Amino acid sequence: MTADSEKDIRHLKAIGRICALALKKMMKHAKPGMTTAELDNIGSEFLKAEGAKSAPQAMYNFPGATCISVSPVIAHGIPGGYVLQEGDLINIDVSAELDGYFGDTGASMIVAKHIPEIEKMFNAAKSALDKAVRAAKAGEPLNGIGRTIQEEAKQKGYNVIYDLTGHGIGKSLHEDPSAIHNFHKPDDRRILNEGLVLAIEPFLTTGRGRVVEEKDRWSLRTVDRAIAAQFEHTIIVTKDEPIILTL
């Protein structure tokens, strides 16, 4: 969507804040010995308390309020009976709706442990997100986002996940532009307009950068079982610095 009124911005900020706080709460409470279903319930209860609805449940009948992916699964992981272990690399993705407006955010973390080589990848993915967000300016090419992500990944010694993209968002979870690539696509000539609402989500990996769907028909893992990291913000594009809704 294009946010073209103070009402739009106010509502987008409200749901963005809720998504961000739900993610923060879940990351804080992720501990060894708890199941991913228990962790999902923490997010679910927080969203309900704020009056928000889980977007994947509402729109796609996803079997969880949030997506919790345990490596080598990197996206769309279904919360369930898996018991978190110290050192697990997990990704938590929270998307929700409030008053007809949607927000989306996500982050990767290590459960209860410091693993420097993985944290190095986290820092690279965060840097890619930060630079990609700043590259999203009205009048600039949309493919500048992917180019920025790919260049940052390469500079830091990582590959991007080619099969997963960011997306437009606002009045629905997934809107046009439907594919914000994490790599440079020269034939993509779309231009960013002021007020455009985007979910930007770099995925970096040590592997080939391709994913395959698991038998549950939701979970996506790397084809080579390589580790990966994702960080995501929902933003509003402006002529200058973007409005980051999910800080």
d(CA 53, CA 48): 7
What percent of the chain stands above pLDDT 90?
Answer: 100
Question: Does residue 238 fall inside a structural domain?
Answer: yes
Q: Are 195 and 236 in contact (CB under 8 A)?
A: yes
Question: Does residue 1 fall inside a structural domain?
Answer: no
Note the pLDDT of residue 142.
Answer: 98
Note the pLDDT of residue 70.
Answer: 98
pLDDT digits (tens, 9 = 90+) for 120-152: 999 999 999 999 999 999 999 999 999 999 999
Q: What CATH number is given to the structural domain containing 67?
A: 3.90.230.10
Mean pLDDT of 13-19: 98
Question: Does residue 121 fall inside a structural domain?
Answer: yes
Note the pLDDT of residue 215.
Answer: 97
pLDDT digits (tens, 9 = 90+) for 172-201: 999 999 999 999 999 999 999 999 999 999
Note the pLDDT of residue 20.
Answer: 99
**Which residues form the domain of 24?**
6-244
Mean pLDDT of 6-34: 98
Note the pLDDT of residue 149.
Answer: 98
Question: Does residue 224 fall inside a structural domain?
Answer: yes
Note the pLDDT of residue 59.
Answer: 96
- Number of domains observed in the structure of the chain: 1
The band of 91, judged by pLDDT with boundaries at 50, 70 and 90, is very high
Mean pLDDT of 3-11: 97
Question: Does residue 51 fall inside a structural domain?
Answer: yes
Q: Are 231 and 27 in contact (CB under 8 A)?
A: no
Note the pLDDT of residue 88.
Answer: 98
* E-state strands within the chain: 53-54, 67-70, 73-75, 89-98, 101-110, 159-160, 166-168, 175-180, 197-200, 203-205, 211-213, 220-222, 228-230, 233-236, 243-244
Question: Does residue 192 fall inside a structural domain?
Answer: yes
d(CA 202, CA 184): 13
The band of 48, judged by pLDDT with boundaries at 50, 70 and 90, is very high
State the DSSP code for 81.
S
The mean pLDDT of the chain is: 98
Note the pLDDT of residue 112.
Answer: 97
